[in-house]
Amino acid sequence: MRRLLVALVLVLSGCSAGQDGPTTITFWDNNGGPGRTPIYQELIKRFEAANPDIKIAYVGVPSSSVQQKYDTAIAGGSTPDVGGVTTSYLAHLAGQGALEPADERLESGSLKGRLIPGLLETVRQTSPDGKLYAVPASGNLDVIWYRSDRFAEAGIAEPATWDDLAKAAAQLTKPAENQYGFTIRGGAGSVFQLLSEAYSYSGVGKFYDGGKSTVADPRNAELVRKVAGLYKKATPEADVNNNYTQMVAQFTGGSVAMMHHNLGSTADVMKSLGPERVAAMPLPKGPSGKRTVVPNPTDGFAVFKGGKNSEASWKFVEFLVSAESNGYWNQKVGQIPANTDVRGAEWIAKNPAVKMALGVLEDPATVIVPAPVYLPEYSSITKTDTEPLYQKVLLGQMSAQEFLDGLAAKLTTAQQDWEKRK
């Protein structure tokens, strides 16, 4: 009996210690790996030092499998307290009722009025009911990386329009010397970049009009014809199969003078070429004169309803998106900080690409046209169904308008189906 009482006391004392000890919340990094895990480890160390009553259990999940792991966790009732998310699958998670809306938290918390409105809007537009199911932390922007040294040598100004870009590409092309003015992404990942180019040229201000996709607008087709017209004339012939890796290799290897990608390639570009030889500019404008941007998926943080420590979870999210933490994270990855208090940081002044991107996103004249990445079929439509057809356009086997007509029809059907389900 005495042994039983001692054991019972030990059990009860253990429970008491657990109840009186720090609260532990689980955080899933949606792109865990050697590049980002150390950044979060440092931020977690800072958070725990400032909040000794809260401990963070970090889990790094590869980006290639994170959506599947979230789905499994939701189905099994074992979601994390806080998770990194992007707008590419945010609607899918919110549609399952797995996330807490952030609207009231932001309105009453320390982040009120301190987040870039454009990033907030891209997050809000991906939700099924217009609520904010994630707090944006980091933005990205499509840019044209260009060899500023070659432009200077040739006396060419930074292109302001797509016609300027095409003219510069032709001037900087010397096939006999294996020098080309531009590189086209014709393989994996090509269509998202092409749509960004098309809307930047056309000035069309929304992806859908009355439920019908605007992708097939004749002004978008005009841009597709212009880009296809550069193929093999001002670009390498191998571009028809270019994926990201091959495109960047051509640019950093010195065989092309301009490349369309985004801020995600900053590290590769700067490591190979350096700020004295390369610069970034926004996608050029078209005849409308409007700055129209199709944003990349926005990174942010969501609090899951299945978590047991909501208050501690929101405290952690507010910390991650605070000026100091948000600035630290985005400085390390070379992306756009969502917290507007970071805009005056010294590192931004020394990073012309991020400074330029911030200026574009914060310019009230910039029109944001989010792609419907929330559609379950979006990836298969733009990749599996459409990338091979874009190659046919480059090879002259399909017209730009026919190509866009087919893509628009599928996106319209997918949107209408999504509206019915919603």
The pLDDT score that the predictor gives to residue 13 is 34
> What is the token pair recorded at 361?
């996103």
The pLDDT score that the predictor gives to residue 20 is 66
The pLDDT score that the predictor gives to residue 28 is 98
Angle of helix 66-76 relative to helix 87-95, nearest 10 degrees? 10
Regions in the chain scoring below 70 on pLDDT: 1-20, 422
Dihedral Cα 380, 382, 421, 213, nearest 10 deg: -160
CA–CA gap between residue 282 and residue 356 (Å, rounded): 8
CA–CA gap between residue 404 and residue 384 (Å, rounded): 15
CA–CA gap between residue 298 and residue 223 (Å, rounded): 26
- Looking up tokens 């040229």 gives 201
Q: pLDDT digit string (tens) for 136-192?
A: 999 999 999 999 999 999 999 999 999 999 999 999 999 999 999 999 999 999 999
Q: In sequence order, what are the residues at sequence separation of 6 or more whose Cβ sits closer than 8 angstroms to the Cβ of residue 381?
A: 375, 407, 410, 411, 414
SS (H, E, C) 332-378: HHCCEECEHHHCCCHHHHCCHHHHHHHHHHHCCCCEECCCCCCCCCH
- Looking up tokens 């531009």 gives 182
The pLDDT score that the predictor gives to residue 8 is 35
CA–CA gap between residue 49 and residue 26 (Å, rounded): 17
DSSP-derived letter for residue 209 is E
The pLDDT score that the predictor gives to residue 6 is 37
Q: In sequence order, what are the residues at sequence separation of 6 or more whose Cβ sits closer than 8 angstroms to the Cβ of residue 272?
A: 252, 253
Q: In sequence order, what are the residues at sequence separation of 6 or more whose Cβ sits closer than 8 angstroms to the Cβ of residue 259?
A: 144, 145, 146, 182, 183, 247, 248, 250, 251, 265
CA 303 to chain centre: 20
Backbone φ and ψ for 85, nearest 5 degrees, come out as: -140, 160
CA–CA gap between residue 108 and residue 85 (Å, rounded): 22
